A and B are shown apart, each in its own frame.
Chain A
């Protein structure tokens, strides 16, 4: 493989990994405070992509405007899902919320099929993103720079919220001891809602960029990215935001590079992620940056 090819693959891996990272953050944050795997998370990605599809096509909004509105709307949807599907089950056994999450996932997907039909639809790609820089044999689309760049900005905003603001402090406290946090006057349900909102907004941002990279939307487009991002979150250490970012980027590289170096295995591309999951669970179940979490009693 030529060096240029290798660099090309690196950019691809970074783009894909950034998207996994953005989605994985939502899984890891919700798990961190509720010990719940939010299986509907991947579907938020799809909803975000549909929002921008309709924003640009049906309403004719400029892409950037439609993107911002889609992200906000998806954040709101995350809050609503929490209120309707998870909040009533807060004191129930954890498995109940998990089942509810699976139900929400199916509900969103099926509703999307009913409302948007199962037909994949092409997505508008703004010109400034499809252009590319040509450096020798290396061709880098603006998108390959935009996605990681946007991811860095979004992650920085998120880290600022989590580590430098009052609600962020409450989030970190809830993840260790929800009862004590409540005792100190934190309105825990509001903080949980904010967590769902932030996670869903990031998933929608990923969905919008996913639709730029693979320029179409369909009701099941969130399933596979969602599953893989979940793997990335486990790989990085579920509960840790930094771990989710690291896990996402690492998974992007694993996937792209295995196919790049062993093209004959490209049909098994999706399988690599799951093999990685099995290996992580066997060798280091807490993931790269995860700390051992004692079971909550």
Chain B
């Protein structure tokens, strides 16, 4: 579905990503893990069109068997129209808008009223707590609920590729498990998921395939289950 080839990302003088190549097959959950500053966020922000100083190639195939199109140089507002949604790091929900308004904003690129209502229902089924709080301002939600809102909002554009940037950030372990359970469910409902995480254990547990990044390069890759058992990964990312 997504093919990244030799991606370089610069911020001012810093090379945040130095020649990364990834491949995300249709229907998979693929995760990028690594420490702070490893370049994980830079990669998915580049896919979302938020980074301008990038080089390399990003190819996207919305449906299997289609001709691949380049995403290079496209603006962020065009990405959701092509089937790619990003739930950004730090949730970035709009605190002064209600839960329902946040979700409607996620569907901004769409005009199909019935489809939007259907997806709204689906999001509320995935996250029943959002339904209870639909008239509350986003800023009054707890951290976990805000994360659910951020994921739900990204789903409202009816993407085929859902990118999640650190969905476990700042959440209690129980909530992390809940969120990851829902990510798996979203995947089973047919969405391809690209997951960026620092919580390596949780990410590797759900992922079909994983890339481990260090200072802007891929240092290790493999199926999630295998990496969980890998002694080097255990030592460096899973606390031995």
Contacts and interface: CB of A to CB of B under 8 A. Distances in A.
Interface of A: 166, 169-170, 172-173, 176-177, 179-188
Contacts of A179: 50, 76, 92
Interface of B: 48, 50, 75-77, 79-81, 86, 88, 92, 94-97, 101, 104-106, 108-109, 153, 157
A63 B19 CA distance: 66
B105 A184 contact: yes
A188 B108 CA distance: 11
B96 A166 contact: no
Contacts of B92: 177, 179-180, 183
A176 B101 CA distance: 14
A183 B86 contact: yes
Main secondary structure of the interface of A (DSSP, over half): helix
Given A169-B101, A169-B108, A185-B108, 18 more contacts: A166-B108, A169-B97, A169-B104, A169-B105, A172-B94, A172-B97, A173-B105, A176-B95, A179-B50, A180-B88, A183-B77, A184-B80, A184-B153, A185-B79, A185-B80, A185-B81, A185-B109, A185-B157
Given A166-B108, A169-B104, A182 B77 contact: yes
A186 B108 contact: yes
Nearest to A180: B92
A186 B77 contact: yes
Contacts of B157: 184-185
Contacts of B94: 172-173, 176-177, 180-181
A182 B92 CA distance: 12
Nearest to A170: B108
Contact of B48 (A177, A183, A186): A183
A170 B97 CA distance: 11
26 contacts: A169-B101, A169-B105, A169-B108, A170-B105, A170-B108, A172-B101, A176-B94, A177-B92, A177-B94, A179-B76, A180-B92, A180-B94, A183-B48, A183-B50, A183-B76, A183-B80, A183-B92, A184-B108, A184-B109, A184-B153, A185-B79, A185-B80, A185-B81, A185-B109, A185-B157, A187-B77
